[in-house]
Amino acid sequence: MQTNLLNLDAGGLARFFADLGEKPFRAKQLLRWVHHLGECDFSQMIDLARPLREKLAEVAVINLPVIKAEQFSGDGTRKWLFNVGSDNSIETVFIPEGNRGTLCISSQVGCALECSFCSTGRQGFNRNLTPAEIIGQLWWANRALGRDPKGDRVISNVVMMGMGEPLANFEAVVSAMNIMLDDNAYGLSRRRITLSTSGLVPAIDRLRECLPVSLAVSLHAPNDALRNILVPINRKYPLSQLIAACIRYLDAAPRDFITFEYVMLAGVNDSESHARDLVKLLNLLPCKLNLIPFNSFPMSGYVCSSSEVIKRFASIVQESGVVVTTRRTRGDDIDAACGQLAGEVKDRSKRMEKSTIRVHAI
């Protein structure tokens, strides 16, 4: 069976070439050709000896996910639908803003965590993506977007905030992020890669040890009772454990704060008392709070908080000294906004058969 080299970071490629009797520096050459230059034809990799190129054509391939559809938003956001086989598709979103270009990448086909307000979670879960399917999203987006007039890549930041829980696919996500960071590939810094998690505490500690990138935590509630419903993984790893893991993470993090994401749900988690409880929860660590106006999807059972309520909520938290931002909704006309990514999932978890449950404030 041929090896898909897109699955291998620098360490994996070095081992692959060693097995072929080649020197480790071949890994750097391959990374540069595939990821920096976007070349997938071995015959065109002209600084590799011809016998090696011929050997690679026999034993290896560079298989990318296939683009199934592309959509353009009026605000400049772009969304790609990738076919990953077996009637499954994933979504990837590019968001331009000023001198920043952010690519939102998926890590799973669907998601198993069942956050009640998330369209991806409602679609159920099929499988983890491979490193090739994860990094392939960045490869294709770079090819589609090209470079700016200065010759720089348009994508300056990557967020692991697409379909799925990245830390539930730990090995593949770390391998893909290693490629993103490699100077011979995409050359991003750890500050420019953000991983968003719903709170898998042991995996947060593991990430801290092996590859601490910028961390964002999907919080969405200031107490365990409400978060148990909105973000069910909280039943296993309650807020006290999650906050403690975030404090530990700061010791190795590339930024001196943790970002907390909080979707604003009318009548559910947006009261002044919720804001005050949130202040008490977050006073133990340096952080930023990102308020996310809820982006509706069919049968969600939720409504977005009004702009007045969001402003009052933000004001209460800001008065405590916490930096608060309210995310600008982007790409909602093509269902590319936060919480709307669904792709096409051949659900193995049977979650789509469950009925919608309306959550009230706690």
pTM of the model: 0.91
> Would you report the helix, strand and coil content of the chain in percent, each value rounded to 5?
40, 20, 40
Whether the predicted pLDDT of 358 surpasses 50: no
Residue 60, phi then psi, degrees to nearest 5? -140, 160
Catalytic site residues? 91, 338
Q: How far is the C-alpha of 362 from the C-alpha of 357, rounded, in Å?
A: 15
Query: In the structure, what pLDDT confidence band is assigned to residue 96 with cuts at 50, 70 and 90?
Result: very high
The domain made up of 3-61 has a fold known as: DNA polymerase; domain 1 (1.10.150)
Does residue 336 register a pLDDT over 80? no
Q: Could you read off the pLDDT of 262-296 as tens digits, one per residue? A: 999 999 999 999 999 999 999 989 999 999 999 88
Unique residue bearing structure tokens 């470079």: 147
Q: What is the pLDDT of residues 115-131, one digit of tens each?
A: 988 887 778 888 999 99
In angstroms, rounded to a whole number, what is the distance separating the alpha carbons of residues 266 and 263? 10
> May I ask the CATH class of domain 66-353?
alpha beta
pLDDT of residue 351: 53
Q: Is 149 exposed, middle or buried (0-12, 13-18, 19+ CB in 10 A)?
A: exposed
Listed by start position, the domains of the chain span 3-61, 66-353
Q: How confident is the model at residue 339 (pLDDT cuts 50, 70, 90)?
A: very low
